[in-house]
Structure 1
Amino acid sequence: MNHSESAYGLWSLVILNSAIFIMFAFSFFKPATGRDWRTFGAFAAFVVALFVEMYGFPLTIYLMSGWLQTRFPGLDLLSHNSGHLWSTLLGEKGDPHFGVLHIASYIFLGYGFYLLSTAWHVLYHAQRRNSLATSGPYARIRHPQYVAFVMILLGFLLQWPTLLTLVMFPILLLMYGRLAVTEEEEMRSQFGDVYDLYAKRTPRFFPNLSPSSGTPKD
């Protein structure tokens, strides 16, 4: 294994990057209720765990170091590029930042933040009118903000997978799913038949690809 200068122990970058992404998401999501804060808090915990391993201490690389050295002799485990494990495991050559998965991660991140912003704008005005949000992304799916958070998390996982964030991801999916069901119960109590009609024609998470699609998917 080569021993170049370590790309870790950069705790100032951990704090800076965590703060940037958390505040960026906060500016779009603007949590107000306890449910909002739970949603946002889980996202923030994922982001911090990600950047701790990306720039602070590479726990995943450390735990896998024996297998990685055997499978990929000559791999510099302390370099930043080695932390892009998908690139390493798939045997990609060159700078991983220009790999297919890394480019895909930018698409997920970009569209996720865009969807989060657009959904919040629609929801904010609906709440001010005390009406049901049914326009914009809410016309295609019932929970665009939760979908946006999942897209952002998936984008991060495509870019820099870690054991901790891989464990957290399905837990967050279950959490967001339960929060969505709870939110629907509250909306049904508030709007009654209006919400039932909206829920009948609008899928929960996955938009219908065509108007002729059958029963909405959850």
Structure 2
Amino acid sequence: MNHAEAAYGLWSLVFINSAIFIMFAFSFFKPATARDWRSFGAFSAFIVALFVEMYGFPLTIYLLSGWLQSKFPNLDLLSHDAGHLWSTLLGEKGDPHFNALHIASYLFLGFGFYLLSSAWNVLYHAQRRHSLATTGPYAWSRHPQYVAFVMILLGFLLQWPTLLTLAMFPVLLVMYGRLAIVEERDMHREFGAAYDAYAGATPRFIPRFLGRVGAR
């Protein structure tokens, strides 16, 4: 169980990676209201917690070390690869960065950030016109930005699960669900029947792909 180099205690990487992903998300989400800042703050807390365990201190590995070492006696707990717990628990061999779950995580992350960018662009122009956002991603979902955040979180969980981020994930889901309901009340007050018609035809989160395809 020798290590060629330190896998943890790399706090500069914690800071750099956290800053990159938070600033990247901020550039698309651009929180304006207190509600926006709460949702973005929760997302940022998830990102920081993730990278602290990925490069700083492996709390999850530490807490599960006894069980992991008994189940996988040849596992080098302090290696970076051991932090990819899905790969370890599934008994996969080789570089975990190239397994199916890791590749799927890249797809979730890539599409999540793409959706976040596309949704913000539509919302920005709608706000400037003081009109409803109903085109692009908003034609498929009433809250594509929250869907994008959830996809990004799922991407990270597929890549590097930790006890803290796994616990935070359902809390964030509930938070985004409640924020969506509050936003819908605001939209109803502002746009009335127009928003009601839009809401009646467009799902809150999960698009009705089959219905849309069949209608074409």
Deviations 1:23-75, CA, capped at 9 Å, x for gaps: 01011111111111111100000000000000000000000000000000110
Partner of 1:157: 157
Q: Which residue of 1 aligns with 2:211?
A: 211
CA distance in 1, matches of 2:161, 2:207: 27
Q: How do residues 4-19 of structure 1 correspond to structure 2 at under 5 angstroms?
A: 4=3, 5-19=5-19
1:37: which partner in 2? Answer: 37
Which range moves more in the overlay, 173-182 or 27-36?
27-36
User: Is 1:197 the counterpart of 2:191 in the alignment?
Assistant: no
8 Å contact from structure 1 (residues 29, 116) kept in 2: yes
SS in 2 for 1:210: helix
Shift of 1:212: 6.2
Residue matched to 1:145: 145
**Amino acid across the alignment from 1:20:** I
Counterpart in the other structure of 1:22: 22
Letter in 2 for 1:30: K
Alignment root-mean-square deviation, CA: 1.2
Pairing of 1:1-218 with structure 2 (within 5 A): 2-4=1-3, 5-211=5-211
Determine the C-alpha separation between the residues in 2 that align with 1:169 and 1:212: 30
- Write the letter of the residue equivalent to 1:117: S
- Residue identity matched to 1:205: F
Cα distance in 2 for partners of 1:175, 1:43 equals 11
Instruction: State the TM-score, normalizing by the size of structure 1.
Output: 0.96
Contact 1:126 1:132 in 2 (8 A): yes
Whether the 8 Å CA contact 1:81–1:95 is kept in 2: the answer is yes
2:168 is matched by which residue type in structure 1? M
Query: Retained in 2: the 8 A contact 1:25–1:113?
Result: yes
Moved over 3 A (4+): none
Deviation at 1:117, TM superposition (A): 0.3
Equivalent pairs, count = 213
Identical-pair percentage: 77
Q: Displacement of 1:210 after TM fit?
A: 2.4
- What TM-score comes out, normalization by structure 2 length? 0.97
User: Secondary structure of 1:73's partner?
Assistant: coil
Whether the aligned pair in 2 keeps the contact of 1:105 and 1:155 (CA below 8 Å) is yes
Tell me how far 1:159 sits from its aligned partner.
0.1
CA distance in 1, matches of 2:212, 2:110: 29
Would the aligned equivalents of 1:3 and 1:78 in 2 still touch at CA under 8 Å? no
Q: Give, as a single letter, the amino acid of the residue that structure 2 aligns with 1:72.
A: F
Structure 2, unaligned runs of 5 or more: none
1:149-174: CA deviations, max 9, x gaps? 00000000000000000000000000
- Alpha-carbon offset, residue 133 of structure 1: 0.2
CA distance in 1, matches of 2:57, 2:212: 51
Rounded to whole Å, the distance in 1 between the matches of 2:152 and 2:209 is 22
* Unmatched tracts of structure 1, length 5 or more: 214-218
